[in-house]
């Protein structure tokens, strides 16, 4: 029996035939990134329990194959899929989405999220306790997982809570001798052997007394202070921040995480979204400084969109918006699965165009009526810069008084959103992340490469809105700006003009960010797109000395033992 057949047979013994995927047709959903990167894998394994993950890991380590851990695969920098064909060992992807258990502990003040549990699922699970998740990110509404967020130090929208972070997790690691080990840092006494530990956790076979409260963080509990420090010359948060790299947190798949333990937060009693428009980026800078430094109550979130991005999202993300709005986030993974399959079928028929599904969805979306509320559309015509600010409880009145006075003295305006407007304004901002990709697919023949930058600017940066020198600006066909403005995390997406050397241009762009004291990536993690700074690569090497998990991440070596 060949090496490949034996490995696949061994894996099938663990999960059953159905959950070991080897056909190209079915693997693509797992081997291609959302926006960036793709490569082949020998198989995709879809375990149904924590113990099955452990057994699959044992087989893979024994067979000396590379392991790529994957959750919802919404990462934007290719960090959850293989990338290219220059690996020195075959690859097995472990997709954990079947293992979606969430256990509530300490009367809902904390949760244990298994590797495939989602932020959306957590929101539902916590609602009866009057509590909500530690983090909300743009991709919460398309099924992003809790663990993927922690592994990526995902930042997201919540101004008070900062990046996803915990020091309490349980994971498997390959040591320097090439042996698989379990590390139980969950703060719960679960037994001595991996089999006992994982079975007890899966079945919630532990008592209240076995749950310990060690002096370890289950969230970034200082972030609210950092974000308020608007005079600091460093960014508030970024992926290579050594303060927030610990075990599962920021691991980028260099270990196999079974579960994480996280804090939760009370649901506010009152919430209000304010929609702000202005033609001056300095007006937004002033509001940001005032709110962060003078308000007693921090905002829940503050999501920025430039008018060009507003327009691009209105046109190119309309189908995603409508699908989420009408069918809910749980439909989106199915929709994207269908989309990938349509593209694979269409590749076989020469008369159908490339990226047939995108072209079809774009065409169909033209028939759907305008999905954006009237008042947002009026602001679109009046203002270049748009900011969707959500306040809660006493912060609502604080903001009302502030905005009323502020816009008597400053250019721009605001309105208080109705519930429907608030939902649509936030969704419009979140689906904006997919607009650049759609535009690029539809305009491939006439445009150059796509570049997506995820930048954390210093907290004291006044010129937060980019002004590029003409030698760079003239080479760009499209620029889309959006982001988490209170945190100074901006997503800057560009399409370069046809014929332009995108790599050289990217280097120049990165130099402009360096000159401004920025850090990158801010929250999407390095994936295969960005170089890992020494703080990150040292962390990866310590977690994974044999380079058996997700090699090549942060453009590091793909070879065994990091050769």
Identity of the residue, 413 or 535, whose beta carbon is nearer to ligand FAD in the bound complex = 535
Structure tokens at 25: 């047709």
Specify the 3-state DSSP secondary structure of 445.
Answer: coil
Quick one: how far is CA 487 from the chain centroid?
16
Is 36 among the residues that bind ligand FAD (CB under 6 A)?
no
- The closest of 153, 180, 205 to 256, measured between CA atoms, is 180
Is 30 among the residues that bind ligand FAD (CB under 6 A)?
no
- Segments in 72-190 forming alpha helices (H): 119-126, 146-151
**CB nearest ligand FAD: which residue?**
148
Determine contact, residues 140/433, Cβ cutoff 8 Å: no
Cite the beta strand spans of 53-206 per DSSP E.
66-70, 91-95, 102-105, 110-114, 131-132, 169-174, 180-184
Task: Determine the size of the site formed for ligand FAD (CB under 6 A).
Answer: 40
Site pattern 156..195 for ligand FAD (x: CB under 6 A): xx--------------------------------------
Among 197, 256, 291, 292, binds ligand FAD (CB under 6 A): 256
CA 361 vs CA 323, 332, 389, 493: distances in Å: 11, 14, 31, 22
The dihedral built from the CA positions of residue 347, 349, 353 and 358, taken in this order, carries a sign that is negative
CA 60 vs CA 68, 340, 529: distances in Å: 11, 28, 26
Q: Do strands 43-45 and 91-95 pair parallel, antiparallel, or not at all (unpaired)?
A: parallel
Rounded Cα distance, 536 and 41, in Å: 25
- The closest of 8, 4, 33 to 18, measured between CA atoms, is 8
Among 21, 126, 144, 536, binds ligand FAD (CB under 6 A): 144
Is 301 among the residues that bind ligand FAD (CB under 6 A)?
no
* Contacts of ligand FAD in 389-448 (CB under 6 A): 430, 433-434
Structure tokens at 534: 């020494």
Determine contact, residues 118/330, Cβ cutoff 8 Å: no
Among 28, 152, 184, 272, binds ligand FAD (CB under 6 A): 152
Determine contact, residues 93/82, Cβ cutoff 8 Å: yes
Among 121, 235, 250, 253, binds ligand FAD (CB under 6 A): 253
Residue 512 Cβ, how far from ligand FAD at the closest point, in Å?
Answer: 23
Identity of the residue, 145 or 392, whose beta carbon is nearer to ligand FAD in the bound complex = 145
Is 155 among the residues that bind ligand FAD (CB under 6 A)?
yes
Among 31, 139, 249, 357, binds ligand FAD (CB under 6 A): 139
* Contacts of ligand FAD in 544-563 (CB under 6 A): 550
Rounded Cα distance, 26 and 23, in Å: 5
Residue 7 Cβ, how far from ligand FAD at the closest point, in Å?
Answer: 20
Among 37, 39, 47, 75, binds ligand FAD (CB under 6 A): 75
Site pattern 87..106 for ligand FAD (x: CB under 6 A): ---------x----------
Cite the beta strand spans of 31-106 per DSSP E.
43-45, 66-70, 91-95, 102-105
Residue 543 Cβ, how far from ligand FAD at the closest point, in Å?
Answer: 10
Rounded Cα distance, 172 and 156, in Å: 27
Rounded Cα distance, 163 and 153, in Å: 6
Stretch of 139-147, 204-212, 216-224, 339-347 lying at the interface with ligand FAD (CB under 6 A)? 139-147
Is 112 among the residues that bind ligand FAD (CB under 6 A)?
no
Query: 517: phi > 0 → left, psi -120 to 50 → alpha, else beta; which?
Result: left
Stretch of 72-80, 260-268, 307-315, 406-414 lying at the interface with ligand FAD (CB under 6 A)? 72-80
* Contacts of ligand FAD in 192-251 (CB under 6 A): 251
Identity of the residue, 101 or 283, whose beta carbon is nearer to ligand FAD in the bound complex = 101
Among 41, 66, 76, 388, binds ligand FAD (CB under 6 A): 76
Identity of the residue, 75 or 395, whose beta carbon is nearer to ligand FAD in the bound complex = 75
Quick one: how far is CA 337 from the chain centroid?
19
H helix or E strand, kind and range, residue 511: helix 502-515
Site pattern 304..343 for ligand FAD (x: CB under 6 A): ----------------------------------------
Block residue for tokens 């590379």: 66
Is 50 among the residues that bind ligand FAD (CB under 6 A)?
no
Stretch of 65-73, 208-216, 358-366, 473-481 lying at the interface with ligand FAD (CB under 6 A)? 65-73
Residue 151 Cβ, how far from ligand FAD at the closest point, in Å?
Answer: 3
- Site residues, ligand FAD (CB under 6 A): 34, 69-76, 79-80, 96, 115, 137-139, 142, 144-145, 147-149, 151-152, 154-157, 251-253, 255-257, 430, 433-434, 523-524, 550
């Amino acid at each position: 029996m060949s090496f490949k057949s034996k490995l696949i047979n061994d894996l099938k013994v663990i999960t059953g035939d159905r959950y070991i995927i080897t056909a190209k047709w079915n693997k693509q959903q797992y081997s291609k990134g959302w926006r960036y990167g793709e490569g082949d894998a020998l198989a995709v394994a879809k375990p149904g329990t924590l113990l099955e993950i452990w057994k699959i890991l044992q087989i893979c380590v024994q067979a000396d194959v590379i392991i790529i851990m994957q959750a919802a695969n919404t990462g934007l920098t290719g960090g959850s899929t293989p990338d290219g064909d220059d690996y020195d060992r075959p690859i097995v992807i472990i997709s954990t989405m079947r293992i979606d258990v969430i256990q509530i502990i300490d009367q809902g003040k904390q949760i244990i999220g298994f590797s495939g549990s989602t932020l959306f699922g957590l929101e539902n699970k916590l609602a009866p306790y009057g509590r909500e998740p530690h983090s909300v990110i743009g991709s919460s509404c398309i099924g992003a997982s809790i663990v993927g967020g922690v592994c990526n130090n995902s930042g997201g929208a919540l101004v008070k809570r900062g990046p996803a972070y915990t020091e309490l997790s349980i994971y498997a690691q390959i040591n320097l001798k090439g042996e698989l080990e379990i590390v139980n840092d969950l703060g719960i006494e679960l037994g001595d052997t991996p089999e006992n530990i994982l079975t007890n956790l899966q079945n919630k076979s532990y008592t209240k007394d076995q749950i310990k409260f060690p002096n370890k963080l289950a969230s970034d509990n200082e972030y609210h202070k950092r974000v308020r420090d608007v005079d600091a010359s460093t960014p508030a948060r970024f992926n290579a921040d050594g303060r927030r790299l610990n075990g599962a947190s920021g691991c980028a798949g260099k270990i196999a995480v079974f579960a994480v333990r996280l804090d939760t937060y009370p649901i506010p009693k009152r919430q209000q979204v304010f929609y702000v428009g202005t033609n001056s980026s300095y007006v937004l800078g002033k509001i940001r400084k005032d709110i962060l430094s003078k308000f007693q109550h921090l905002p829940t979130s503050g999501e920025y969109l430039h008018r060009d991005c507003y327009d691009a999202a209105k046109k190119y993300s309309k189908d995603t918006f409508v699908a989420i709005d009408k069918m809910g986030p749980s439909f989106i993974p199915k929709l994207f699965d269908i989309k990938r399959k349509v593209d694979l079928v269409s590749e076989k028929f020469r008369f159908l165009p490339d990226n047939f599904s995108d072209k079809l969805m774009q065409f169909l979306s033209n028939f759907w009526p305008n999905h954006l509320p009237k008042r947002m559309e009026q602001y679109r015509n009046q203002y270049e810069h748009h900011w969707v600010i959500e306040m809660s409880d006493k912060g609502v009145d604080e903001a009302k008084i502030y905005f009323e006075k502020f816009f008597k003295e400053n250019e721009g305006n605001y309105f208080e959103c109705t519930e429907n407007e608030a939902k649509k304004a936030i969704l419009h901002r979140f689906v904006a992340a997919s607009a650049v990709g759609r535009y690029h697919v539809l305009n491939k023949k006439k445009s150059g490469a796509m570049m997506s930058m995820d930048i954390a600017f210093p907290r004291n940066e006044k010129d937060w809105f980019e002004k590029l020198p003409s030698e760079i600006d003239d080479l760009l066909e499209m620029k889309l700006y959006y982001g988490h403005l209170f945190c100074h995390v901006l997503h800057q997406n560009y399409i370069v003009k046809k014929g332009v050397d995108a790599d050289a241009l990217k280097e120049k762009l990165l130099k402009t960010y360096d000159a401004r004291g920025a850090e990158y990536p801010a929250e999407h993690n390095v994936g295969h797109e960005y170089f890992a700074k020494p703080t990150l690569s040292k962390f990866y090497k310590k977690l994974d000395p044999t380079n058996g998990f997700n090699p090549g991440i942060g453009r590091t070596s793909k070879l065994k033992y990091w050769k």
